[in-house]
Amino acid sequence: MSREFGFDRGKPVDRWYIERFLDEHRADVRGAVLEVAESTYTQWYGDGDVTASDVLHHTGNDDATVVGDLTTGEGLPEQKYDCFICTQTLPFIYDLDAAIRGISMVLKPGGVVLATVPGISQVSREDKRDWGDWWRFTSQGTTRLFEERFDDVDVQAHGNVLSSAAFLYAYAAEELNDAELAHRDPDYELLITVRARSRTP
């Protein structure tokens, strides 16, 4: 077993689902885009339609252009972004309702959030040390969280028993084929994806 989520063997299994989700919604990665921690996905999926790219970090890092707190709103611009890419971030924020409110605050009316959360995962030791590793999610719970503040909420669960076991043993995505990864079993929600639109007045 690897303690590195599979990074030491290749691409982690959950990243296969994240990248597939973002690729399917690349049309939403446009205009002013905010991404958590780094701008990698903005660069990969923006397709030249990105007019401004910012990176959000709670305490600041080398890539951060916005230092702010989703739970308090401190440091966050209001109604600035057309798209917010928020992958695998919410498990490390204790006050989920406040964080969802913060996400809605930074988006322009009609702006889109593309978010992912883990359903099945080992603990992230570094994040547990730095922020706390608080949550794992279900599609049902995630839908309720986002529907309270967003419109057009589309929540999807991805994974199956094979991909979930492979992820927990930290196999790389390359060690399974696309058909094995793409099969969906509703009893094994490895990763949850969210596309939702910010409410307009």
User: Is residue 157 in some structural domain?
Assistant: yes
User: Is residue 41 in some structural domain?
Assistant: yes
CATH code, domain carrying 170: 3.40.50.150
User: Is residue 3 in some structural domain?
Assistant: no
- CB 79, CB 107: distance < 8 Å: yes
Q: How many independent structural domains does the chain possess?
A: 1
User: Is residue 87 in some structural domain?
Assistant: yes
User: Is residue 7 in some structural domain?
Assistant: no
- CB 64, CB 55: distance < 8 Å: yes
> What six digits make up the tokens of 140?
């049902």
Question: CB burial class (10 A; 0-12, 13-18, 19+) of residue 47?
Answer: exposed
Residue 122 CA neighbour count, 13 Å, CB half: 18
Q: Quote the domain boundaries for residue 44.
A: 13-198
* pTM (two decimals): 0.95
User: Is residue 144 in some structural domain?
Assistant: yes
User: Is residue 1 in some structural domain?
Assistant: no
User: Is residue 4 in some structural domain?
Assistant: no
| pLDDT per position as a tens digit, 12-57 | 999 999 999 999 999 999 999 999 999 999 999 998 899 999 999 9
User: Would you state the pLDDT for residue 97?
Assistant: 97
| pLDDT per position as a tens digit, 117-163 | 999 999 999 999 999 999 999 999 999 999 999 999 999 999 999 99
| pLDDT per position as a tens digit, 78-109 | 999 999 999 999 999 999 999 999 999 999 99
